Amino acid sequence: MTRLTEQAVRSLEAIRGQKPLIHNITNYVVMNTTANALLAMGASPVMAHAIDEVEEMVSFAGALVLNIGTLSGPWVEAMLAAGKRASELGKPVILDPVGAGATRLRTETAKRILSEIKVSVVRGNASEILALRDAASHTKGVDAVHSVDEAIDVARQISVELHTTLAITGATDLVTDGRQVVRIENGHPLMALVTGMGCTATALVGAFSAVEANPVNSAAAALAYLGLAGENAAGRAEGPGSFMVALLDALYTITPEDLGAGARIVTES
């Protein structure tokens, strides 16, 4: 078992033991799904977005997850207030820039969060992550990437530019803090046919971040664990409906030992 896999196993044990409270300010579409995923894995979710209570709520939490899907004005202010309070208290903040690059509101909100708050991990797909670059960035665009090695180089550069750890999910997931690069090879194509699977990944990075200080470790552990649950669920599913049900079951039934045996975390450098 590699060092990162061992760390993932210990983190899952810690989540099951400590049941960390994860404060989510997230989109309407996935609130129910991510709350259920966090509960199934052994964490405690809370959803709260009112500007009047987010600073108080985050003070009880082990991590804060900010997700910009179905955004509107008051939510942006609440995310910034909660994020600043979390930073002051030294709590990890995880950002999901849903749809960054698609509309100005989303791109600018994601950038504003990154500039005003210390974000521990950004979890997104490749196009969302590329949309976060500065206008002056010299990093290559997604069209210019022709190999895995180039993709790794680009990811590392953006991580350095944004001063945060990136968890870039796709057929293969990539995690980097600008120096270390890790690939996670767990997962199943059915995961793309259920809404909010990326958002669930982000929430799970939150749960692992609540018990493990190194953001590369916590992001890699979360993605391997969710991917393994997806593989497990796919074997019992007849389509995306039964897949999602089986995935929640798998998040509950997978033991730390199962994770140790099934995680496929590959250290690139």
User: How many residues in total does the chain contain?
Assistant: 269
Is residue 189 involved in binding a copy of itself (CB under 8 A)? no
Candidates 1, 89, 102, 266: give the one binding a copy of itself (CB under 8 A).
102
Is residue 30 involved in binding a copy of itself (CB under 8 A)? yes
Is residue 29 involved in binding a copy of itself (CB under 8 A)? yes
Binding mask 127-166 for a copy of itself (x = CB under 8 A): ----------------------------------------
Side chain identity at residue 131, one-letter code: A
Number of residues that bind a copy of itself (CB under 8 A): 55
Binding region for a copy of itself (CB under 8 A) out of 43-51, 79-87, 142-150, 211-219:
43-51
Q: How far is the CB of 64 from a copy of itself (least distance, A)?
A: 15
Beta strands in the chain, from DSSP E residues, in sequence order: 21-25, 44-47, 63-67, 93-96, 121-124, 165-168, 173-176, 181-184, 265-267
Q: ∠ at Cα 163 (119, 259), nearest 5°? A: 60
Question: Are 140 and 161 within 8 A, CB to CB?
Answer: no
Side chain identity at residue 241, one-letter code: G
Is residue 115 involved in binding a copy of itself (CB under 8 A)? no
Closest CA to 185 of 126, 227, 229, 234: 227
Buried b (16+ CB within 10 A) or exposed e, 68-89: bbebeeebbebbbbbbbbbbee
| Cβ closest to a copy of itself, residue 4 vs residue 68 | 68
| Cβ closest to a copy of itself, residue 113 vs residue 251 | 251
Q: Footprint of a copy of itself on this chain (CB under 8 A)?
A: 27-33, 35-36, 39-40, 45-53, 56-57, 60, 69-74, 99, 102-106, 193-196, 237-242, 244-253
